[in-house]
Structure 1
Amino acid sequence: MVFEKIIGITNKILWDYLLIFLLVGVGVYYTFKLKFVQVRKLHPAMKQVFGGIFKKSEKADNDGMTSFQALATAIAAQVGTGNLAGVATAIISGGPGAIFWMWVSAFFGMATIFAEAVLAQTYKEKVDGEITGGPAYYISKGLKNRGLAVFFSIAIIIALGFVGNMVQSNSIAAAMNNAFDVSKVLIGVIIAFLTFLIFTGGMSRIASFTEKVVPFMALLYIVGSIIIVLMNYKNIGPAFGMIFKGAFSPKAVAGGVFGVSMKQAVRFGVSKGLFSNEAGMGSTPHAHAVAKVNHPAEQGLVAIAGVVIDTLVICTLTALVILTTGVYISGATGPVLTQMAFTAAFGKYGNPFIAISLFFFAFSTIIGWYFFGEANVKFLFGESGIKYYRFLVIIFLVLGSTLEVQLVWDMADTFNGLMVIPNVIALFALGSKVKDSLSNYEKIKN
C-alpha cells in the first residue's frame, strides 16, 4: 500500500535522523545558554516539588492549577507505556548501552523542558474565561507565526488526542486480557466511561485525578522494581557494567548476545528516552502553562523534576529489572520482556502486577494527552469545539482497545514527529526570552 510506504519512509527520516539531532541539539543549546541550569538548579527544583507535596491541596479553577498539580498532569502524560515497552525495546534493539544514552538524552532534556515550561508560562492566556497555554500560544505570540501554530495544534490533536490515545487504550486492553482474560471490548468501554467522567469535570477534576493517582502509581511501580532489583542484588554490578560497557562497545557485552553497533545503542537510547520524557516534543508545556506560580522560571524548575522522575528513576528501574533478572536473553521484546522480568521475580503475581501498573500508566497518559489536545482545540476553535473533541476521543478509545493495526501505530509516530518540528523552531528562536526569564528569577532570589 502506497500510504503505508509513505508513512514508513516519513517515520524513518523523522525518528532515525532528523528528530534525534533536533531534540538533542535544542537540549545542548539550552544547557549552554542557561549555564547548565539542570545541574545548578537541580536541588532547588527537587526541593520545590517535594517540599510542598504534603501541603493541603488547592482546587484547580479557571485561573489554573497548583504547581504540583501541573507537574502531576505532565508526569501523567510522560510516564506511560514507553517506560515499560520503550525501555525493553531500547535494550533489545540497542543493547544495555542504550540506557546510558537514554540518561544522556534526559540530561539535555532537562534544559529543554525548563525552557518549554518558561515559555508556556510567559505566553499563557485566558480563552473563554479559562487559563490555557502551550506551544501554539508561544509560537503564535512569541514567533508571531499563526500558520506554524495551527500546524502544531492539528498535529498534536491527531498525535495525542486521537491516534495516541488509541495506542494507550490498546495497551491497557491487551495487558488486562492477557493477565485476567477480560474482553478487550469490555475494557475499552470501561476506559471510555471512566475517562468521560474525568473529562467532563474540566481542569478541576483532571488536576484532582492526577495529583492523587500519579504519586500512587509511581510509588507502586518504584517499590515493586526496587524489590526485584534487591532480590537479584548480585547482578546489580554486572548490570551497570553492561550499561557502561555497552554504551561504547556494544558487541563486547554479554558474550555477544547483543549484536548491535554503537550507532544503534545511541539511536535507540536517545530516541526512546526522548519519547518517554517528551522533552522538546511540545506536549508537557500545556500542563505547565496553567500552573499558578509567581514567576515563569519557578515552573521551569518544577518541569525539570518531571524528567528526573520519568527517565532517571522509572526508566532506569525498568532497565535494571530486565538486566538483573536476566530475561533479556529470552528474545522477547516490548512489554512482554518487562512482564517476563516481573514474572521471574514475583511468579504468578508478576503478570498481574505489570498489567495493573500498565493500566495506571496508560490511563493517566490518556488523561494527560486529552488535556493537551483540549488546549489546542481551544486555540483553534475556542470553547465551542471541546464537546466535539471530547466525543471523538471517547470513540477513538473504544476503537483502540479492539484494533491492532500497525498503520495506526505508525501514524502515531508520524504525527508525534511532525509536532516536534514547529516546537523546536520556536525553542531555538525564543532562547533569549528564556535566558532573560531565568536571569530575572535569579536576581529576585539572590
Structure 2
Amino acid sequence: MELLNQIAENIDEFLWGVPMILILLGTHIFMTVRTKFIQRKTLKAIKLSVTKDPDVDGDISPFQALTTALASTIGTGNIIGVGTAIALGGAGAVLWCWLTGVFGIATKYAESLIAVKYRVKTKDGKMQGGAMYAIERGLHPKISGKKRSMKWLAILFAVFAALASFGIGCGVQTNAISSIMDSTFNPNGELKLNLFGSEVSTVALISGIIVAICVALVIFGGIKAISKVCEKLVPFMAIMYVVGCVIILIMNSDVLWQTVCTIVSSAFSPAAVGGGLVGSGVMLAARYGVARGLFSNESGMGSAPIVASAAQSRNPVRQAMISATGTFWDTVVVCLMTGLVIVSSCIKNPQIDTVSVEGGKLTSAAFAQIPVIGTPILVVGIVLFAFSTILGWSYYGERCIEYLFGRKGVLPYKLIFVAVLLITPITALDFVWTMSDIFNALMALPNIIAVIALSPVIVKETNYYLYGKRLDEFDKTPIPVVDK
C-alpha cells in the first residue's frame, strides 16, 4: 500500500505541477477575455436560475440542474479540501483557490454552453450531453473542417470521468462521512472489529453501509429522483453551513483584517519561511489552492455540463449562464468563507497546529469555537455535503458509461458504485484524495481542449443571445436522436 501511495503521489505531483496550473488558470483567463468578462452577468444569471423554462426540451428544470451540479461541487472540497490546501500550502492557498473560482466562472460557462449546444436525445426522449458529445459533434470533420475525427478524445474524457466518479464523487465523500462519524462517535477508537485479517472501525463500516443503502435508493430512480432530492437538500445544507461560518467570522471580527493581509501576502511569498500559515512559498500555495479550487468547483473538468445538458432551456447561453453560477456559489462564496474561518481561527488561537495537523481537523478546530452547536453544524454539514456530492457524481458517471457502452452498462456501473461506497470507509484517506486529484487532471485535459477549440462557437453564441439581447429566444436547431 505504501508503494502504491508513493507512485500515486509522484503521478499527482507531475500532473499538478506548473503546466497544469498554467493550463487551468490560462483557460480561465482566456475564456474570461473571450466572453467579455461574463462574470459581470452573474446577478442576471442568478435571477435566471430561479426562473422556470418548462415549454422546451429537457428532463429537469434549470434550477434542478443547478442544484444537482451544486450537489456535486459543494462538498468535502469546501470543508476538508480548503483545510487541506491551507495545511499544505499555507494561508495563501485561500487566495489562489478564490481566484480559481472567480476566473473559473467563465470556463464553467463555456463548457456548459457547448455541452447544451451539442447535446443529443435518446429514442425515449431523454437528454444526453457533456464534453464527450461536444467533442464528438462539435469537432466532427463535417462541422470543424478538420481532417480527422476527435471521437477518441471524447472516449478518453468519458473513461476518465467515469473513473473520477469513483474517486472525487464516491470514495472521497463516503470516506469523509465515515471519518467524521468515527471521530464523533468513536473518539478513542475502541469500537473495532476484525475484517479479512485487518482491524477496522465499526462506526466507519456501519456508516458506509448506511450511506450505500441511502444512495442506492436514490440513484436507481434516475436523474429525476436525484434532482428532486438535490433541489431540497442543497439550499438547506448551504444556508446552514454559511450561517455557521458567519457566526465564527463575527466571533473573530477583531482579526479579520489581519486574516486578509496574511492570505494575500502568503499567496505571493517567494519561498518557504518555516511552514504553517505564513510562507509556504508561492508554488505550494498556488498548487494546492488551484488543485483544491478545481476539486471544489470543477470548472474546466467538464462534469457539471453533463447535468446542464438535461435541463429545460430555450437556448445554450441561457443554461450556460445558470450553470456558471455554480462556481460563484461554490468557490467565490463558500470556499472563501471556509478559508477566512480557518485562517482567522488559527490566528486567534495560536495553539492550533497548522503544520502537522490534517486539513479536516483545522476546520473542526475552527467550528469548535461555537459553543455546543459548532461541532454538530460541521458534522451535519460534511455528511449532507458529501451525500449530495455522491448523488450528483453518480449521474455524471452513469452518463459517461452510457456513452461508452450504451444502456447495458448502466446497471453494472450503479452496482459497482454502491460497492465502492462500502469499501472506501475503511481505506486510507490520503490515497483516495491523491487518486481523485489524478483523475480530475486527466478528465480536465480533453475538456479544456474542447473548450479552447470551440471558443469561436462560444463567442458567436454569446454575442448573439447574451450581448444581442436575445436570451428569451428559442434555439430552433433540431436535437439529434441517438440509438443508445
| Structure 2 residue 235 is the aligned partner of structure 1 residue 215 | yes
Please report how far the alpha carbon of residue 348 of structure 1 lies from its aligned counterpart in structure 2 after TM superposition: 4.7
3-state SS of the aligned residue for 1:346? coil
Q: Which residue of 2 aligns with 1:88?
A: 83
Which residue matches 2:46? Answer: 46
Tell whether the 8 Å contact from 1:91 to 1:98 is kept in structure 2 after alignment.
Answer: yes
Match of 2:174 in 1: 169
Superposed CA offset, 1:254-310 (max 9, x none): 998523222322222222212211100111111111111111111111122111110
Trace 1:356-375 onto structure 2 (pairs within 5 A): 356-375=380-399
Task: Give the Cα–Cα distance (whole angstroms) in 1 for the partners of residues 209 and 56 of structure 2.
Answer: 29
CA distance in structure 2 between the partners assigned to 1:255 and 1:349 by the alignment: 32
Residues 184, 2 of structure 1: alpha-carbon distance in 2 compared, 3 angstrom cutoff: closer
Q: CA deviation at 1:184?
A: 1.2
- Offset at 1:359? 0.4
Deviates more, 1:348-357 or 1:305-314: 348-357
1:112 deviates by 0.3
Alignment partner of 1:274 is 2:294 = yes
What letter corresponds to residue 12 of structure 2 in structure 1?
N
Aligned residues: 439
Residues 1:228 and 1:250: Cα distance change in structure 2 (over 3 Å): farther
What is the distance in 2 between the residues matched to 1:62 and 1:396? 34
Q: Among the aligned pairs, what percent are the same residue?
A: 36
SS at match of 1:280: coil
Q: In structure 2, do the counterparts of structure 1 residues 3 and 207 end up closer, same or farther at CA, with 3 Å as the change threshold?
A: same
Q: Which amino acid aligns with 2:11?
A: T
CA distance in 1, matches of 2:70, 2:297: 8
* Aligned-pair CA distance for 1:251: 7.2
Superposed displacement of residue 444, structure 1: 4.2
Choose 235-244 or 117-126, whichever is displaced more.
Answer: 235-244
Is 213-222 or 155-164 further displaced after alignment?
Answer: 155-164
Please name the residue that 1:198 is paired with: 218
Contact 2:266–2:281 (CA<8 Å) still a contact in 1? no
CA displacement at 1:164 relative to structure 2: 4.3
Q: Specify the SS of the correspondent of 2:127.
A: strand
Residues 104-130 of structure 1 deviation map (CA, whole Å, 9 limit, x = unaligned)? 211210110000110110011113421
User: Quick check: 1:341 aligned with 2:366?
Assistant: yes
Change (3 A) 1:417 1:37: same
Deviation, 1:253, is: 9.6
**SS state at 1:84 partner:** helix
Q: Is the 8 A contact 2:69 2:307 kept in 1?
A: yes
Superposed displacement of residue 337, structure 1: 0.7
2:133 aligns with: 137
Identify the match of residue 63 of structure 2 among 61, 68, 71: 68
- 1:432 matched to 2:456? The reply is yes
Structure 2 unaligned spans of 5+: 141-149, 187-201, 472-484
Alignment of 1:408-427 (within 5 A): 408-427=432-451
Q: Tell me whether 253-262 or 191-200 shows the greater mean CA deviation.
A: 253-262
**Matched residue, 2:304:** 284
Deviation digits for residues 134-164 of structure 1, max 9, x if unmatched?
Answer: 1111111112322111111111111114674
Between 1:163-172 and 1:183-192, the stretch displaced more is 163-172
Name the CA shift for 1:413/1:252 in 2 (closer, same or farther; >3 Å). Answer: closer
Counterparts in 2 of 1:303 and 1:405: CA distance versus 1, 3 Å: closer
1:101–1:132: structure 2 CA closer, same or farther, 3 Å change rule?
same
**Partner residue of 1:78 out of 61, 73, 76:** 73
Deviation (angstroms), 1:33: 1.1
Question: SS where residue 126 of structure 1 aligns?
Answer: strand
Q: Check the 8 A contact 2:128/2:309 in 1, yes or no.
A: yes
1:241–1:163 distance in 2 versus 1, CA, 3 Å: closer
- 1:437 is paired with a residue whose SS is helix
Structure 1 counterpart of 2:474: none
Q: For residues 84 and 162 of structure 1, what CA distance do their matches in structure 2 show?
A: 17
Give distance in 2, aligned partners of 1:265 and 1:411: 20
**1:309 is matched with which residue?**
329
In structure 2, the residue corresponding to 1:75 is in which secondary structure? helix
Structure 1 residue 62, shift from structure 2 partner: 8.9
Contact 1:199 1:206 in 2 (8 A): yes
User: Are the counterparts in 1 of residues 118 and 134 from structure 2 also a CA contact under 8 Å?
Assistant: yes
Distance apart, 1:384 and its partner CA: 1.8
Within 5 A, what are the aligned runs for 1:391-406?
A: 391-404=415-428, 406=430
Deviation at 1:405, TM superposition (A): 6.2
CA contact (8 A) 2:91 2:277 kept: no
CA contact (8 A) 1:175 1:355 kept: yes
Rounded to whole Å, the distance in 2 between the matches of 1:256 and 1:113 is 32
TM-score w.r.t. the length of structure 2 is 0.85
CA 1:389–1:62 in structure 2 vs 1: closer, same or farther (change >3 Å)? farther
Decide whether aligned partners of structure 1 residues 256 and 67 sit closer, same or farther in structure 2, where only a CA change above 3 A counts: closer
Query: For residue 316 of structure 2, what is the aligned residue in structure 1?
Result: 296
SS of 1:445's partner is coil
- In 2 relative to 1, CA 374–211 (structure 1 residues): closer, same or farther, beyond 3 Å? same
Q: Do 1:76 and 1:364's aligned partners in 2 also have CA atoms closer than 8 Å?
A: yes
Match of 2:353 in 1: 330
- Residues 70 and 291 of structure 1 are in contact (CA less than 8 Å); yes or no, is this contact kept in structure 2? yes
Q: After alignment, is 305-314 or 125-134 more displaced? A: 125-134
8 Å CA contact 2:167, 2:433 repeated in 1: no
CA RMSD of aligned residues (A): 2.5
Equivalent residue of 1:258, what SS? coil
What's the secondary structure of 1:330's corresponding residue? coil
Aligned residue in 2 for 1:32 = 33
Contact 1:105–1:274 (CA under 8 A) maintained in structure 2: yes
- The answer on 1:156 being equivalent to 2:161 is yes
CA distance, structure 1, for counterparts of residue 420 and residue 161 of structure 2: 15
C-alpha separation in 1, matches of 2:405 and 2:57: 18
Alpha-carbon distance in 2 for matches of 1:253, 1:226: 31
Counterpart residue type for residue 141 of structure 1: R
Q: 1:51-88: per-residue Cα shift (whole Å, max 9, x none)?
A: 54xx7x98x99931111100101111111111111211
> Is the deviation greater in 152-161 or in 189-198?
152-161
Structure 1 stretch 184-193 or stretch 127-136: which is displaced more? 127-136
